Amino acid sequence: MHSKESLKSVLSYLPNKILKRDKGFHEGKYVVDKEVAKDIVAEIINDVKERNVPTFEINPGIGILSKELLSAGVNNLHLCESSTSDTFFQQIEKILIDFPSQVKYVQQNLLALYKLTYQDKQDGGTRIQQLLADVSKRNWTDDPVMIIIGTLPSLALIRHLIHCHIYQTGILSYGRPELYVIMSPIHYFALTCGKGASYTFYRSLSVLFQLIFQFSVLRKLPRNAFLPWEGNYSHKKHPQLSKLRALDQDYLYLVKIVPHQDFFQRVVKPEELHQFWFFIWYHMVSRKNRVITQLEKWIPGCGPRLIANDITIYTEFGELSPHQILSLFHEFSTWPEYRESSFFTSMDSTLMVMEQSGGELMKIIVKDDDVEGETAVELQETER
C-alpha cells in the first residue's frame, strides 16, 4: 500500500469478516487505501463530470472512494451498499450529512441486479425502476445514461449486462451505461482473450463481451489496497490456471467498459439479438466442434459455401476470432434456407428451457462465480 498508516487509520471502521483472507466468492471488495482512491478518481473524474448523469457506486463500504468522488465534484452519487454492517452504515451516514445535496443512499447490491430483475419478472415488481428512478431513458446511440463505479469480485455483473442487452431489458433498457470497474487480471483476461488463449477461457462470454463492449485498462492498482485479501487457490485439477494466477498477481485493473454506440448498425439489428446470442453460445460450448459439421446439421449441404469462404473441413469454432464468428453468423443468416432451418427450433427450445428454469442466458450455475469455478465446471460438464 502507499502507506502502512493508511490501513491503520481505517481499521477500526472495518467489519471483521473483510479482514479475513477470502478463499472463495465474496459479496464485495472494498478499497481501504485513501491514496489509491485518489488515484482512481484522478483517472476518471473528467469523464464522470463531463457525462453529468447519475453515478452509482458498487458497495462503497466505509466510503473511502465515495468521499474522494464527492470532494472532486461528483453530483448525483448513489451509494449502493447491501451490507447490513453497522460500521459501514455509520460511515455512510456521515457522508450523507457532509454532502447532503450530492449523494443518496440505496440499500441494494448492484452486483446482484440479476436477482432484482428476476424478482420483478416473477411478481411484476418495480425494483429496477425504483433503483434507477433518477435515470432518464435515452436512445442507444445517445451518450451514456448512467455511470457505474466499483470493484467486481466476479463476472456476475458483466454476464447480467450481456443478458440485459440480448433481451433489451432491465438496466440496459434505459440506454448505455458507462462502467469504471476494478477487476482481477484473470477476470479481464477471461473477457478479452482471443482464439490463441486456453480453451478454458475463450468461450461465449469472451466473444459476446468483445462484440458488445468497448473496453480499456486505465490503470493498474495495488491489490493489497483492497479488502478482503485473497486466500491461496489450489490448481491441482486444472494446472493451466496457475500461470494466469501469476499474471500481474500484485495488481488489480481499473477498466473502462461501455457498450458500442453503433452496435445495432455494425453488429446485428435489434430483431436479430436472440439469433446472434444463440449462434455464439451454442458453438462456443465446445469449441472443438468443426464449423462445417455443425452448420450442416442445420442446413444440410452448406459445406461448399463455407469452403468458398476459406473454412476447411477441419476448421473448429475455437480457432475463430470474435469478428470471424460474427462474419460467419452474418453469412449463415443470409442463406435462403436460414428462416426455415432447424436453427430456430433449436434456439426456441433452448430459450424455453432457460425461461422455465429462471436462468439467465449468460449464467453458468456454479457454487461461486469466479473464473476458476466457472471454467472448472465447464471443463467437466459442458465439453461435448
Q: Please check the confidence at residue 10 and state whether its pLDDT lies above 50.
A: yes
- The answer to whether the beta carbons of residues 350 and 171 sit under 8 Å apart is no
Domain boundary pick from 242, 265, 288: 265
pLDDT of residue 247: 75
Predicted pLDDT at 232: 58
pLDDT digits (tens, 9 = 90+) for 325-335: 999 999 999 99
Give the mean model confidence (pLDDT) for residues 56-61: 92
Let me know if residue 295 belongs to a domain: yes
Given a cut of 70, is residue 148 above it in pLDDT?
Answer: yes
- Looking at the structure, tell me whether residues 173 and 206 fall in a common domain: yes
Angle value at C-alpha 169, between 140 and 180, nearest 5 degrees: 60
DSSP letter string over 31-99? E--HHHHHHHHHHHHHHHHHH-S-EEEE--TT-HHHHHHHHTT--SEEEE-----HHHHHHHHHHHHHS
**Residue range 222-262, pLDDT digits in tens:** 998 888 766 555 555 556 666 666 677 889 999 999 999 99
Contacts with 270 (C-beta within 8 Å, 6 or more apart), sequence order:
168, 264
Query: What pLDDT score was predicted for residue 115?
Result: 87
Amino acid at 283: H
Write out the three cell numbers for 53. Answer: 448523469
Other C-beta atoms closer than 10 Å to the C-beta of 157 total 25
- Residues 193 and 331 both lie in one domain: no
Q: What's residue 227's pLDDT?
A: 82
Give per-residue pLDDT as tens, 170-212: 999 999 999 999 999 999 999 999 888 766 789 999 999 999 9
pLDDT of residue 372: 45
- Tell me what the pLDDT averaged over the chain comes to: 85
Torsions phi, psi for 259 (to 5 deg): -60, 145
347-370 confidence digits (pLDDT tens): 999 998 887 766 666 554 333 334
| Domain match, 210 and 325 both | no
CA–CA separation, 117 and 167 (whole Å): 12
Query: Measured at the alpha carbon of residue 95, what is the angle toward residues 89 and 101, in degrees to the nearest 5?
Result: 130
Last residue of a domain, one of 265, 292, 317: 265
Residue 27 has a pLDDT of 61
Say if residues 298 and 342 touch (Cβ distance below 8 Å). Answer: yes
Number of residues in the chain: 384
Residue pair 201/190 in contact by the 8 Å Cβ criterion? yes
**Does one domain contain both 115 and 215?**
yes
Scan for cell 466473444, then name that residue. 207
- Cβ burial, residue 89 (10 Å; 0-12/13-18/19+): middle
| Residues contacting residue 207 through CB under 8 Å, at least 6 positions apart | 280, 284, 322, 325
Query: Does 320 map to a domain?
Result: yes
Whether 383 is in a domain gets the answer no
Query: Same domain for 206 and 276?
Result: no
Q: Does 59 fall in a domain?
A: yes
pLDDT digits (tens, 9 = 90+) for 162-180: 999 999 989 999 999 999 9
Same domain for 58 and 160, yes or no, is yes
Phi, psi (rounded to 5 degrees) for 327? -60, -40
Residues 136 and 250 in one domain: yes
Q: Does the pLDDT at position 102 exceed 60?
A: yes
Distance of alpha carbon 307 from alpha carbon 310, whole angstroms: 5
Question: Is the domain of 243 the same as that of 281?
Answer: no
- Do 259 and 165 meet the contact criterion of CB atoms below 8 Å apart? yes
pLDDT of res. 378: 37
Domain presence at residue 384: no
Structure-model confidence comparison of residues 381 and 249, the more confident one: 249
pLDDT-based confidence at 85, cuts 50/70/90? low
Q: What is the per-residue pLDDT for 30?
A: 85
Is pLDDT above 60 for 380? Answer: no
Q: In terms of domains, do 16 and 131 share one?
A: yes
One domain for residues 288 and 184: no
Same domain for 253 and 115: yes
At position 60, the amino acid (one-letter code) is P
Across 77-81, 93-97, 176-180, 193-197, least confident range: 193-197
Domain encompassing residue 74? 4-265
Q: Of 215, 243, 265, which closes a domain?
A: 265
Check residue 381 and give its pLDDT. Answer: 32
The C-alpha atoms of residue 161 and residue 173 are separated, in whole angstroms, by 10
Residues 132 and 187 in one domain: yes
Residue 346 falls inside a structural domain: yes
pTM of the model: 0.87
Q: How confident is the model at residue 14 (pLDDT cuts 50, 70, 90)?
A: low
**Which CATH number belongs to the domain containing residue 200 in this structure?**
3.40.50.150
Beta bridge partners of 56: 78, 148
Question: Is residue 129 a contact partner of residue 169, using CB atoms and an 8 Å limit?
Answer: no
CB 250 within 8 A of CB 223: yes
Rounded distance between C-alpha atoms, residue 147 and residue 275, angstroms: 29
Per-residue confidence (pLDDT) for residue 86, from 0 to 100: 72
* Separation of alpha carbons 364 and 369, rounded Å: 8
In single-letter form, the type of residue at position 277 comes to W
**pLDDT at site 61:** 86
What nine digits make up the cell of 176?
448505455
Whether residue 384 has pLDDT greater than 50: no
**CA-closest candidate to residue 70, choices 45, 88, 93, 51:** 45
**C-alpha span between 182 and 58 (Å, rounded):** 11
Count how many domains the chain has: 2
Residues 65, 51: Cα–Cα separation, whole Å: 19
Lowest-confidence pick of 82-96, 226-240, 311-325, 330-344? 226-240
